[in-house]
Amino acid sequence: MFFQQKFRLLSLLIGIIFLGLLSNIYTLQITNRDSSLLSVQNQTLDTFYIPSPRGEIYDSNNNKLVSSSLEPHLFLNIRKVNSDNQGQYEQYIKYNFSELEDSFIDELFDSSSLLVKITNIQNLNFDSRQNLASLDAFEIFDYPIRKYEYNNIASHILGYLGEPSFEDVQEFPLSENSNIIGKSGLERFYQDNLAGVPTKIIFKDEEITEIIKGSPGKDIFTSLDINLQTLATESLLQGINLANENFESRRNIQKGAIVVLDIRSNEVVSLVSLPDYDPNNFVDGISRTEFNKLNIDGAFNNYPIQGQYPPGSVFKVVAYWLAEVENIYPEGLSSRNGRIDCKGSLAFGFDDGSQQVYNDWKEDGHGRVNLGSSIQQSCNVYFWDIALKIWREYEGTTAEAILQKYAKNLGFGSMTNIDLPYEARGVVPDRDLFEDWAISQPERVRPEGWLGGDLMNLIIGQGAITATPIQVANAYRTLISGKLSSPYINKDNQNQSESSIGATEDFVNFLLKDLNSVTNKGGTAYASFQVLGNKVNDVGGKTGTAQNSGDKNNTSWFVGIDSISNPRYIIATVIEEGGSGSAIAAPVTRRVIQSLRGMGPTPVNFGEVTE
């Protein structure tokens, strides 16, 4: 009995405590809900970020290419907008900023952000700004404005800005705060340097309690010459127009590239990609329609570092170098001076089923040629003979890929590691690659795999090989300087590693002399360079006309050197489907060389179809 009574008292006590807890929970959740939420909010701090001015970008002569300035912008404090005053703010914005579209204004009030940028009020007078500031939900802050001083000139080098995607934030986590990021070019490659530290605006509930000032980004001083960049862009446009006038094509010819490298330092002096765009159009946002049009045209592709083309005859310098170092010349020859009789074709037997007759671009042949004149006249037969010798002596051994080894030692098949994003690697094909493709991309190879005919194609820059203009320019620069290194644009990047390729002074002089013969009488580019008069005796280059698959026109190549006696610059020009290298790319390059040497640039006129 005693225990039953004690149990009932204990149960009663527990019940009273439980009811008390329920009462307190009800008071907190129902009766005092608003005051409780307010108490929590008053203890919570939120942060909004405003980007700082990005670092400015300069050319080699301290011309400002990209600038940043702070200009006052009107913002809307979303936490101070409610159902009672929203209509008032909507009408005020529509009346005072009639240029803003209704859809944009509607989106302002649907934002989940703390502050929403409305518009630039730089041109409003002091009284108008004061009136805006008197409205409780309006805030005025300085916001950085990015300006690309030369519009579309150098757009692919500089890049453009936009809002960061999820992938962008993964790569550049700090961009999530400022909500702006470089999408391409130097703006992206040096994003963390250029961005600086954003300004923090601290909120406590709906009020701004603190502003922590950010710091601007670091400036970049580049190796670019904006005057040369402008002239090279004009020259490439002239070449593209010339190609459209002289070669029939199922599609409009509009894509091309120019690369100018300083041979001594490997600085990028100019880098042109067409079609281009104006980065200023992205500062305030570009329409989806305009963005799609640029994308369809290929304007966002940086062709000097992303365009992958068969290099054609400009690749012959690889076999030229191999022949000299390895003493591998056409059958029966033992030196650069030995000659073969080029009758316009090469017929031979391959046991693997490869093509048996190879026809040179010049049907009646080049006569008797040695290593030097084979470059001057771009004789395919001479180089096919070298490939044939390699195949017959080394087929099935590691030495079978000796040509590929020399190509890779010059940087083909690898990124140059230029300080720009999204660089392509290109392709140097060999037996191993064909075996990989047979599994991963069977549509790209024959069932028989790698054959002697593939090597015959490779040695003249045809077949499965692809290269970017920056790779080709860097390969020529490497042969002339004797050192392989990465091209660079930011001058702070100049302390880079370089490796020697073992090129002798005798080889370099021999190469320069033969490149000079290409632009002189008897050479494939003479018609494009004879306008230089006597000065043609001190320039040089190599033509290239690369065949494309399907119904595409040939791709036009030319690699030029500004001086034989005192080489300073390498210029690589390519026009996609531009036809003959000697007729189109050569005169484009000649005009750039005229500028580099202080001559008065003459128009890009049609040269001569010599290969």
Average confidence (pLDDT) over 35-60:
78
**Rounded Cα–Cα distance for residues 153 and 65 (Å):** 9
pLDDT in tens, 341-385: 999 898 877 777 677 788 999 999 999 999 999 999 999 999 999
Token pair in block for residue 525: 């580019």
Please tell me the predicted confidence (pLDDT) of residue 2.
Answer: 47
The span from the CA of 320 to the CA of 515, in Å, is 12
pLDDT digits (tens, 9 = 90+) for 400-415: 999 999 999 999 999 9
pLDDT tens-digit readout, 513-530: 999 999 999 999 999 999
d(CA 537, CA 532): 9
Q: Which residues contact 230 (CB under 8 A, 6 or more apart)?
A: 150, 153
Give me the pLDDT at residue 544, please.
97
Instruction: Please give the helix or strand (H or E) that residue 345 lies within, else none.
Output: strand 345-347
Q: Which pLDDT value is given to residue 197?
A: 95
What is the pLDDT, as a whole number, of residue 45?
87
Lowest mean pLDDT among 253-267, 277-291, 387-401, 507-521: 277-291
d(CA 142, CA 73): 6
Say if residue 497's pLDDT is above 50. yes
Distance (Å, rounded) from C-alpha 134 to C-alpha 129? 9
User: 39 — phi, psi (to 5°)?
Assistant: -65, -40
CA distance 409 to 469: 17
Residue 474 has pLDDT above 90, yes or no: yes
Instruction: From residue 112, give the alpha-carbon distance in Å to each of 109, 201, 460.
Output: 8, 16, 60
Mean pLDDT of 313-335: 96
In this prediction, residue 14 has a pLDDT band, given cuts at 50, 70 and 90, of low
CA distance 381 to 369: 10
CB atoms within 10 A of CB 419: 20
Paired tokens of 589: 């390059």
Q: Is the per-residue pLDDT at 5 higher than 70?
A: no
* Residue 116 pLDDT grade (very low, low, confident, very high; cuts 50, 70, 90): very high
**Alpha-carbon distance values, 114 to 7, 35, 140, 173, 582 (Å):** 58, 22, 14, 20, 61
Model-level pTM greater than 0.85? Answer: yes
Task: Give me the long-range contacts of 344-350 (CB less than 8 A, separation at least 24).
Answer: 344/381, 345/381, 346/381, 346/384, 346/385, 346/388, 348/388, 350/391, 350/451, 350/452, 350/453
- Tell whether the model's pLDDT for residue 28 goes beyond 80: no
Q: How far is it, in rounded angstroms, from Cα 584 to Cα 362?
A: 18
**Beta carbons within 10 angstroms of residue 21's beta carbon:** 9
CA pseudo-torsion sign 74, 77, 82, 84: negative
User: At which residue do the structure tokens 């649907």 appear?
Assistant: 110
What six digits make up the tokens of 563?
């001086």
- The confidence band for 253, taking pLDDT boundaries of 50, 70 and 90, is very high
Segment 388-409 shows an average pLDDT of 96
| Average per-residue pLDDT for the chain | 91
Residue 269 has pLDDT above 70, yes or no: yes
State in Å, rounded, how far the first CA of the chain is from the last one.
119
pLDDT at 12 over 80: no
- Mean pLDDT, range 552-574, rounded to an integer: 97
Mean pLDDT of all residues in 556-583 = 97
Region 15-35 average pLDDT? 56
Q: What pLDDT was estimated at residue 429?
A: 97
Q: What pLDDT does residue 251 have?
A: 84
pLDDT score at 347: 85
Query: Which of 532, 507, 521 is CA-nearest to residue 605?
Result: 532
Q: Is the confidence at residue 42, as pLDDT, over 60? A: no
Does residue 272 contact residue 236 with C-beta atoms inside 8 Å? yes
| Widest distance between CA atoms in the chain | 130
The first and second tokens of residue 171, run together, are 């790569």
Give kind and range of the element (H or E) at residue 202. strand 199-204
CB contact at 8 A, 239 and 78: no
Give the residue-averaged pLDDT of 291-298.
93
The rounded Cα 444 to chain-centroid distance in angstroms is 26
pLDDT at position 223: 98
User: How large is the average pLDDT for residues 107-124?
Assistant: 92
pLDDT band with cut points at 50, 70 and 90 for residue 134: confident
- Cis status, amide bond into 567, omega within 30 of 0: no
- pLDDT exceeds cutoff 70 at 492: yes
* pLDDT category of residue 496 using cuts at 50, 70 and 90: confident
- The band of 41, judged by pLDDT with boundaries at 50, 70 and 90, is very low
